Chain A
Amino acid sequence: EADIYQTPRYLVIGTGKKITLECSQTMGHDKMYWYQQDPGMELHLIHYSYGVNSTEKGDLSSESTVSRIRTEHFPLTLESARPSHTSQYLCASSETGPTNEKLFFGSGTQLSVL
């Protein structure tokens, strides 16, 4: 079973606030990902990491930043939240291996910026 956790599940916050979305996995996976998804729309990759101290930008430009200080933890930060950041944020992880490992997703954080 997948053990990847995202907190909070829902977040309503005012414009200009700094927020951090947490993502943790207990599977020892090297690769981790952040996706952004609006209702009824496709997932957009915004950040990914190959392992500790590795962070890369995804296909969708995002004002958020990420860090990977520990294997199990991949937090996403918005320094100054805006209404345009309102969306669902999904974290995922996968192993690194020759069989192109499967992804495990968290339950997501639904962010609403007022």
Chain B
Amino acid sequence: DAKTTQPNSMESNEEEPVHLPCNHSTISGTDYIHWYRQLPSQGPEYVIHGLTSNVNNRMASLAIAEDRKSSTLILHRATLRDAAVYYCILPGDDKIIFGKGTRLHILP
């Protein structure tokens, strides 16, 4: 079973920020939180990852709760190209399980 819980789908307007939540209440102290996204007809691609502190890169920001039981992927200004399925995973040292992810719809 996936170790994370995400909403099935979300909608956002183009050029507005998007906050994608993820719950991981059973996270261990050494688990990193990774986010991937899968565009239509493609394999997943890495977006961002973090351990405790908030992280930023050119694609997105990752906000991690103080107790680490949840995190939020932030797309600062959504475009139509950001329409995809977003996965939050905890790779750990073993097999890497993807849940169903959140299907993000961007409205023009």
Beta-carbon contacts of A72-114 to B below 8 Å, as 1s and 0s? 0000000000000000001010100001111111111000000
For residue B89, which residue of chain A has the nearest CB? A103
Q: Is there contact, CB below 8 Å, between B91 and A105? A: no
Assuming A102-B49, A103-B36, what are 13 further A-B pairs, CB within 8 angstroms?
Answer: A33-B95, A33-B96, A35-B98, A42-B98, A42-B101, A43-B98, A56-B95, A58-B95, A90-B44, A94-B96, A100-B31, A100-B32, A100-B91
Q: Which residues in window 78-108 of B have CB below 8 A to A?
A: 91-93, 95-101
Which residues of chain B from 32 to 65 have a CB within 8 Å of any chain A CB?
32, 34, 36, 42-46, 49, 51
**Is the contact region of chain B dominated by helix, strand, or loop, or is it mixed?**
loop
Q: Is the interface of A mostly helix, strand, loop or mixed?
A: loop
Contacts of B46 in A (CB 8 A): 102-104
A92, B95: Cβ atoms closer than 8 Å = no
**C-alpha spacing A71/B108, complex, angstroms:** 45
Asked whether, in the complex, the Cβ of A100 is within 8 Å of the Cβ of B92, the reply is yes
Q: 18 interchain pairs (CB within 8 A)?
A: A35-B98, A42-B98, A42-B100, A45-B96, A56-B95, A59-B95, A90-B43, A99-B51, A100-B93, A101-B91, A102-B49, A103-B44, A103-B46, A103-B96, A105-B43, A106-B43, A107-B42, A108-B42
B96 & A102 in contact (Cβ 8 Å cutoff): no
Residue of A nearest to B98 (CB): A43
Collect the chain B residues with CB atoms within 8 Å of residue A33's CB: 95-96
Given the known A-B contacts A100-B49, A105-B45, A107-B42, are A45 and B34 also in contact in the complex, defined by CB atoms under 8 Å?
no
